Amino acid sequence: MNVTLELVADYIANSRKIAVLTGAGTSAESGVPTFRAQGQNKSAQAPLWEKYDPSELASPSGFKRHPDLVWQWYDWRRNLVESVSPNAGHHALAALEKLYHPQPRTFTLITQNVDRLHHRAKSQNILEMHGNIVSFRCFDHGHQAGEVERSLPSPPLCNDGQCHSKLRPNVVWFGESLDSAVLDAAMAAARQCDVFIAIGTSALVQPAASLPYIAREHGAKLVEINLERTALSENVDAFLQGRSGDVLPSLVDLVKAHPRPV
């Protein structure tokens, strides 16, 4: 019996409000590389953009300078994320939400991931802090676009009235602000939760990285699930080391077996 897993199942079972923060590690077992893995294994990337630093392309100025290159890079990434499937960790989080929604219990899934795998696993209450790369809006006015053709060499133009601005992914780029409604909701979830679980994140990218600390300041139990220790690990009440696709299903099984308060 894993004592820490039991302890975390107990925290969860005795909570009314749960907030979860996921990062790129949560999707690694689906075959979506984390940023660090991309850095280590450049050959996994197509040669066209290999020589660029992602922060150079993933920015408004990068898009203005190299619109075709940035468009093709995101087209490649969209194809990648749509060709893979949610893994056991994504499914376990959706199952945990089912146990906790609706009121009086609440479950908020805050994700830094842009791959939409939590949606495809049927999680419901999702806050996408960094947007996603499978939907699009126009660069100049933010008009949302419908279905966008694949494998286009250049960004298509907005067809909202006379706009004709280039389309871009609905993702938050370096140098851009997060959607304030999404950020406010994530902060509120962190302030109000009884237990906060950070999963597969290096806990370095702000403002997401501050959410676990906000939760702890407001009295939440802090849990981390990761392959390795991170900047956050020193501060948590429980650290579960392992792959999220292994740890989460075991955790959810234990929670299901636990008597929960009504």
Report the catalytic residues.
130
CA angle 152, 25, 246 (to 5 degrees): 125
Applying the rule CB under 6 A, the residues between 241 and 260 that interact with ligand NAD are 243-244
228 near ligand NAD, judged by CB under 6 A: yes
Hey, CA dihedral for 204, 209, 212, 213, is it positive or negative? positive
Q: Is 5 in the site for ligand NAD (CB under 6 A)?
A: no
C-alpha distances (whole Å) from 56 to each of 64, 107, 135, 152, 156 are 11, 36, 21, 21, 21
Q: What is the smallest separation between the CB atom of 105 and ligand NAD, expressed in angstroms?
A: 25
Q: From the CB of 82, what's the least distance to ligand NAD, in Å?
A: 12
| CA separation, residue 93 to residues 104, 208, 242 (Å) | 19, 19, 16
Cis check for the bond before 86: say yes or no (omega within 30 of 0): no
Interactions with ligand NAD, residue window 106-135 (CB under 6 A): 112-115, 130
Closest CA to 172 of 159, 158, 161, 186: 186
**Contact call for residue 27 and ligand NAD (CB under 6 A):** yes
28 is a contact residue toward ligand NAD (CB under 6 A): yes
Q: How many CA atoms lie within 13 A of 116 on its CB side?
A: 16
For position 163 contacting ligand NAD by CB under 6 A, the verdict is no
Closer to ligand NAD by CB, 72 or 201: give it. 201
Number of chain positions touching ligand NAD (CB under 6 A): 26
32 binds ligand NAD (CB under 6 A): yes
Contact positions toward ligand NAD, by CB under 6 A?
A: 23-25, 27-29, 32, 34-36, 112-115, 130, 200-202, 205, 225-228, 230, 243-244
